[in-house]
Amino acid sequence: MSGALDRPGFHRFDTVDRRAVIAIVIAGGLLDLASRYLPADLPYLAPFIFNIPIFAGTILFGFWYARGLHRTARGAWPALWRRIAYFSGVGAIYFVAQTHFEYAAQHMFFLNRLQQMTLGVFAPFLIAFAWPRDVLAAGVPAELIGVAGHRLLRRPIAVLRNPIVAAVISIAVTDVWLLPAVDFAAMINPPLYAVMNLVMLLAGLLFWLVVLDPRPRAEAGYSYLTRMVCGFLTMFPQILVAATVALSGISYYDFYDLCGRLYPSISPIQDQLIGGMIEWIPPGLLNTAVLFVLLNAIRKNEDKETRETPIPPGARVIEAKWTGR
């Protein structure tokens, strides 16, 4: 671990990091107290139910990414669309979990599904699509990177980074919270609800960061084909569950009747239909997009290999791997 702390481009926990952590702790403490005792007086963008890990994580990783950009030469910055994707993903996590949107998510099933799909699918997809690894490596303190690389964590992390394992975890975590009894338990128990949000987020980040890894097998550990298959096939069990929820004529989620629906004009069956469609169609499109994202990564890596392959004097290049030109 000590070697990681001294690698070029890394920085140790310093005054800037210390000030950022202190500011987050103070702001978090104030928001936590305010959300407990003055909920009606808070603006919409303030937390409805304060979730320490999500609040601190989104702010810190937004800060560390910005700091990584500051510490990176401007010519080496990721493309603008990657930066936008990253901050959009982090911002979406904060919005659905740490604003008064959470109140709406607890009073309509389809809004709850929008929240959970944002935490488990949409936002993690944007973050993984941005591939922030190098920028975060320059912004996150080296001590934290060293802990992640500790020998006791290497084996568990290696297991979790297996695309099959990541896919199974993603499916299991997404579906278990859809069980009516589990959903009801989470909705009436605020600590369990907070756990649900956090678990959905972590499972989503694990899955999408694994399957959308743009690096070749030598660096990523698994072939592009393995990642494509896992990213694509995960769609089918999810479609089965989401379609069952959407197309059923039975109302499975009674909690929203007990707590009062935000939009009474939407019937329970309509609410369930919309929620099931949110769980069904957009995630399926993103699972299909994995194929195109990784095909583009293959093209870029083959182009890079072609550029870096030395050409003997007098030799002629007949064909490039990807284009055939």
What Cα–Cα distance (Å) separates residue 207 from each residue in 55, 56, 110, 174, 210? Answer: 21, 22, 23, 12, 5
Helix (H, G, I), strand (E, B) or coil at 26: helix
Give 182-209 pLDDT, tens digit per residue. 999 999 999 999 999 999 999 999 999 9
pLDDT higher than 60, residue 3: no
Give 24-40 pLDDT, tens digit per residue. 999 999 999 999 888 88
pLDDT higher than 70, residue 314: no
- pTM, 2 dp: 0.90
Contact 14, 22 (CB under 8 A): no
Residue with tokens 């591939």: 131
pLDDT higher than 90, residue 146: no
Distance CA 243, CA 202 (A): 24
Distance CA 205, CA 203 (A): 6
- Short-list 102, 167, 117, CA closest to 280: 117
pLDDT higher than 50, residue 325: no
- Short-list 228, 186, 185, 269, CA closest to 277: 269
Mean pLDDT of 289-316: 80
* pLDDT confidence band for 155 (50 / 70 / 90): confident
